[in-house]
Structure 1
Amino acid sequence: MNGGVAHQRIERDLVLEADHAGRRLDQVLAELLPEFSRSRLQQWIESGELVVDDQRRRPRDKVWGGERIRLAATLALDERCVAQPIALDIVHEDDALLVVNKPAGLVVHPAAGNPDGTLQNALLHHDPGLAALPRAGIVHRLDKDTSGLLVVAKTLAAHRSLVEQLRLREVHREYRALVIGECVAGARVEAPVGRHPTQRTRMAVVAGGRPAVSHYRVLERFPGHTLLAVELETGRTHQIRVHMSHLRYPLVGDRLYGGRPRPPRGCSEALRGALQRFPRQALHAIRLGLRHPEDGRELHWEVAMAADLEALLAQLREEGGDDADPA
């Protein structure tokens, strides 16, 4: 491209916390600045556009907490992610925010193996102005096969506000999870999540992982299964899936963390087949709450259960369920 390519000035100023101690600089930054790819952050570290206590560092250098991170970089607008006419289920839109109900199967942004056909491509088609924002304004993710609510920033000010609200754990996120096993009661789960020590495509509860807190309560009980409401304090990769598997209540359909389906003894062939064929983790982001970046209003949204998960729940109810704490 020629000199007409547009650029955007990126500036951030933050202080590392004590629980970052002993970890690689690029790993910590990838979590604190999720709007940028890890490779992009590594480039800025190496170029000196991102400094630690006003000193240049290497991506692999360890941090110890308390360091001040300053980022002052120029970002060429990413022309590799092209606008594509992909349908969006828009729940809310104003000058600062866009809230979408993401279907299962839609990847949030391009990555290895998914170069296009993503939510980011769809957002750029819906609003070309989002090209001026990192990842078209996407500030948090849902896994490809998780459905439900996701918020997108439409301005740089909104982007900064939403990233800060997420960092301070001020964004309310509630999910519906259908798990294998009969939960007796809800609980608070505080278990650190990090990369699995031997299986690099998986996350796990590990001693050196990042702090992760989930809360769950029982909504309905079925033979061999339970419908849970799960709320997140933190937003680690695969957090709900990892935490519930760690508790031995893996999500229905979760081939990565859940193992084989376990239809209840004596169930109908129809239910057995539905449980065995359910094609994704049974996880739906049903509620979202946050402060509006411009005026501070508390905003809340709720969407209906995803159709495929609702159909599976209907089959479980037909064969006998026990209402516990209806939402």
Structure 2
Amino acid sequence: MAILTADVPLELAGKRLDQVLVEIFPDYSRNKLQTWVKAGRVTVDSEQLKAKDRLVGGEELILDAEAEEVTEYLAENIPLDIIYEDEDILIVNKPAGFVVHPGAGNWSGTLQNALLFHLPDAVTIPRSGIVHRIDKDTSGLLMVAKTLAAHHSLVEQLQAREIHREYLAITIGRMTGGGTLNEPIGRHPTERMKFAVRDNGKPAVTHYRVLERFLRNTLLQVKLETGRTHQIRVHMAHLRLPLVGDPMYSGRFQMPKDCGQELEKVLRSFKRQALHAEKLGLIHPRTGEYCEWQLPVPPDMQELLTALRANDTLDHS
């Protein structure tokens, strides 16, 4: 428990209480601060106000804060492929097959378990500092906050759609050109493990650009504006161009026409969706500077691309 006090600066006059709290106590999220206001853990000149009440400046704020252990998961000594690390953030390269959060069937051996070992203080940060997630069988860049202030900053950037995220994806089917898909995504009406484009879903915006076309496939660069669960996989399936290796959204595996022996071998051994989080950009929580990282194509996707290119040169007559 911690009792925090502060005087409201005059430049914040006219702002709502919850807005002022975010400015003065940046280590805590807006949702957490609003919860504490409702619970009576915030006083303004010894009075309890509502989150929407506006302040005039000069009031004394007292916040009865709590440092919570937000996870009970075990720390595990699992190696991490760290791309960048400083006192505020950690950027990791998550390999395909590595689960991000513990859950049904995967209560250990996850990225979160690894972070709790690498960063013991992460026990007091929501989700051990993991700000966003990528699917188990998607590879690539993931950002982690090492402090509450950094977590708050990165979450706000995500909500404001200021985080730059680009992916490489290989589709089943030949795409004629790029575009933008602005279709809401929600839980599938009958298959609860899946998601689908639905009128009552949450807003989801995906930008895509053709990088390379093959006989029966397309290499795309995909930029996320929002970050819904399975967003790229669902949107590509909605276009009837599902990702290679994605049994959840591509249906029963079928070998494409005009497929040579080498490509057939590679396709049969490719056991995950062909999706790689290639690029990640953000405003650094402490310095305010824009930072960006980029990863090369992982070996399994590179092998698939090589086989697709080689197959295009074969005589299919």
Please give the range of the TM-score, normalised by the shorter of the 2 chains: 0.7 to 0.9
Kindly name which structure, 1 or 2, has the bigger radius of gyration based on alpha carbons: 2
- Residue of structure 1 aligned with 2:104, choices 112, 124, 142: 112
Given that residues 8 and 76 in structure 1 are in contact (C-alpha distance below 8 angstroms), is that contact kept between their aligned partners in structure 2? no
2:246 maps to 254
Given that residues 109 and 119 in structure 1 are in contact (C-alpha distance below 8 angstroms), is that contact kept between their aligned partners in structure 2? yes
Q: More displaced, 81-90 or 211-220?
A: 81-90
- Do residues 151 (structure 1) and 143 (structure 2) align? yes
Task: Summarize the alignment of residues 218-233 of structure 1 with structure 2, pairs less than 5 Å apart.
Answer: 218-233=210-225
Task: Summarize the alignment of residues 268-279 of structure 1 with structure 2, pairs less than 5 Å apart.
Answer: 268-279=260-271
2:289 maps to 297
- Residue of structure 2 aligned with 1:173, choices 165, 168, 171: 165
Deviation of residue 72 (structure 1)?
8.4
The residue type paired with residue 116 of structure 1 is: S
CA distance in structure 2 between the partners assigned to 1:276 and 1:72 by the alignment: 58
- Residue of structure 1 aligned with 2:176, choices 184, 196, 213: 184
Across the aligned residues of Structure 1 and Structure 2, the Cα RMSD in angstroms comes to: 3.1
Number of equivalenced pairs: 276
- Do residues 234 (structure 1) and 226 (structure 2) align? yes
- Do residues 316 (structure 1) and 289 (structure 2) align? no
2:279 maps to 287
What SS does the corresponding residue of 1:125 show, helix, strand or coil? helix
Q: Which runs of 5+ in 1 are unaligned?
A: 1-6, 15-32, 37-43, 56-65, 322-327
Given that residues 287 and 303 in structure 1 are in contact (C-alpha distance below 8 angstroms), is that contact kept between their aligned partners in structure 2? yes
What is the TM-score of this pair, normalised by structure 1? Answer: 0.77
2:85 maps to 93
- Do residues 138 (structure 1) and 130 (structure 2) align? yes
Distance 1:89 1:122, change over 3 A: same
CA distance in structure 2 between the partners assigned to 1:180 and 1:305 by the alignment: 18
CA distance in structure 1 between the partners assigned to 2:84 and 2:284 by the alignment: 12
Same amino acid, percent of matched pairs: 54
Distance 1:263 1:161, change over 3 A: same
Given that residues 252 and 261 in structure 1 are in contact (C-alpha distance below 8 angstroms), is that contact kept between their aligned partners in structure 2? no
Distance 1:185 1:79, change over 3 A: closer
Task: Summarize the alignment of residues 17-36 of structure 1 with structure 2, pairs less than 5 Å apart.
Answer: none
2:191 maps to 199
CA distance in structure 2 between the partners assigned to 1:187 and 1:49 by the alignment: 49
Deviation of residue 132 (structure 1)?
2.1
1:97-155 deviations in Å (ceiling 9; x for gaps) = 10000001111111121111000111111121222211110010001111000000011
CA distance in structure 2 between the partners assigned to 1:266 and 1:209 by the alignment: 38
CA distance in structure 1 between the partners assigned to 2:270 and 2:141 by the alignment: 21
Deviation of residue 270 (structure 1)?
2.5
Given that residues 172 and 290 in structure 1 are in contact (C-alpha distance below 8 angstroms), is that contact kept between their aligned partners in structure 2? yes
Deviation of residue 220 (structure 1)?
0.8
Given that residues 67 and 124 in structure 2 are in contact (C-alpha distance below 8 angstroms), is that contact kept between their aligned partners in structure 1? no
What SS does the corresponding residue of 2:72 show, helix, strand or coil? coil
The residue type paired with residue 225 of structure 1 is: N
Distance 1:150 1:133, change over 3 A: same
Q: More displaced, 247-256 or 266-275?
A: 266-275
Task: Summarize the alignment of residues 44-55 of structure 1 with structure 2, pairs less than 5 Å apart.
Answer: 54=50
Deviation of residue 206 (structure 1)?
0.2
CA distance in structure 2 between the partners assigned to 1:266 and 1:232 by the alignment: 32
Distance 1:277 1:290, change over 3 A: same
1:161 maps to 153
- Residue of structure 2 aligned with 1:123, choices 108, 115, 123: 115
CA distance in structure 2 between the partners assigned to 1:240 and 1:230 by the alignment: 8
Given that residues 173 and 287 in structure 1 are in contact (C-alpha distance below 8 angstroms), is that contact kept between their aligned partners in structure 2? yes
CA distance in structure 2 between the partners assigned to 1:73 and 1:225 by the alignment: 54
Q: Which runs of 5+ in 2 are unaligned?
A: 4-16, 20-28, 42-48, 53-62
